[in-house]
Amino acid sequence: MELKENTIVNSMPRIGDLAPDFDAVTTQGKIKFSDFASDKWIVMFSHPADFTPVCTTEMSGFATRKAEFDALNTQLLGLSIDSVHAHLGWVQNVRENTGVYFDFPIIADIDMKVSKLYGMLQPNESETAAVRAVFFIDPSKKIRLIMYYPLNVGRNMNEILRALEALQTSDEYKVAMPLDWKKGDSVIVPPPKTLDELNARLADNSVEKIDWYLAKKNLN
Ligand code: BEZ
């Protein structure tokens, strides 16, 4: 299949960047992102379109697990290139059908301004719908982790929560997380950066040493 030339002016924020600022209309009123949810983490996620099947399962997943995001001091913020009127209709439709209520703001990005600012429009996937992006933004508004999924594959809520908890635990304890880390597992302590630190690590029996550069400890 021939790929289209990418003519959409799309910025692609990267991990470590300050999250680009914007004003937006949402299902819970207008927001200015730089003032939004101060002192909280933000998980901002796009979905391709209201009233579509995969999106309905994903939004319902965010809604039913909202208490877990609250417990991690994290504000949810949805987005799609639909009007606020469509968002309201969809929220009400899902509430009527399933009892699940999307109790977090959903941006009506009808002019695609935010989608373009965050690289959510990926024209060889769709020129009119945002892909399934997830931006993990810390309380200083720095982007810490980015996920992009295509239109036909729903995201994994366990992984979104795991990654959020991993970022927060890493910040709190100044450690790194190994493959498949989950809360309660041991964590990786930073490797030595000098020979003195290496010698100290070799003599340190408080950590589980696989080798001098790979050592773990339990946070409990
Ligand atoms: C869906 O959510 O099911 C969907 C949305 C846009 C394109 C394809 C699938």
Q: What is the pLDDT along the chain (220 residues), one digit of tens a residue?
A: 566 655 556 789 999 999 999 999 999 999 999 999 999 999 999 999 999 999 999 999 999 999 999 999 999 999 999 999 999 999 999 999 999 999 999 999 999 999 999 999 999 999 999 999 999 999 999 999 999 999 999 999 999 999 999 999 999 999 999 999 999 999 999 999 999 999 999 999 999 999 999 999 999 8
The verdict on the CB of residue 53 being under 6 Å from ligand 1 is: yes
The verdict on the CB of residue 163 being under 6 Å from ligand 1 is: no
> Strand locations in the chain, DSSP E?
23-26, 29-32, 41-46, 74-80, 106-108, 132-137, 143-149, 187-189, 208-211, 214-217
Cβ proximity of 117 and 8 under 8 Å = no
- Most informative mutation of 47, 51, 54 for ligand 1 (most atoms within 8 A of CB): 54
CA 129 to ligand 1: nearest atom: 6
In angstroms, the CA 152 to CA 154 distance is 7
67 by Cβ neighbours in 10 Å (0-12 / 13-18 / 19+) ranks as exposed
- Most informative mutation of 58, 94, 151, 155 for ligand 1 (most atoms within 8 A of CB): 151
Q: Count of CB atoms within 10 A of residue 170's CB?
A: 16
Using the structure block, give the residue that is written with the tokens 């914007």: 22
In angstroms, the CA 169 to CA 165 distance is 6
Phi, psi of 188 (to 5 degrees): -90, 130
Give the pLDDT score at 91.
Answer: 98
Q: Evaluate if pTM is beyond 0.85.
A: yes
In angstroms, the CA 44 to CA 105 distance is 10
Give the pLDDT score at 11.
Answer: 84
What is the 8-class DSSP label of residue 99? S
CA 154 to ligand 1: nearest atom: 2
55 is catalytic: yes
Query: Exposure string (b/e) for 34-51, b if CB count within 10 Å is 16 or more?
Result: eebbeebbbbbbbbbbbe
Give the pLDDT score at 130.
Answer: 97
Give the pLDDT score at 173.
Answer: 98
What are the tokens at 17?
A: 């960047």
Kindly give the distance from the C-alpha atom of residue 109 to the centroid of ligand 1, in angstroms, as a whole number: 17
Give the pLDDT score at 8.
Answer: 59
Distance set, CA 99 to CA 91, 94, 119, 154, 203 (Å): 10, 7, 33, 21, 58
Choose the catalytic residue: 19, 24, 37, 55. Answer: 55
Give the pLDDT score at 5.
Answer: 58
Partners of residue 136 on adjacent β-strands: 43, 145
Domain boundaries, given as residue ranges, for the chain: 2-155, 174-220
CATH number for the domain whose boundaries are 2-155: 3.40.30.10
Domain pair 2-155 / 174-220, same fold: no
CATH class of the structural domain 174-220: alpha beta
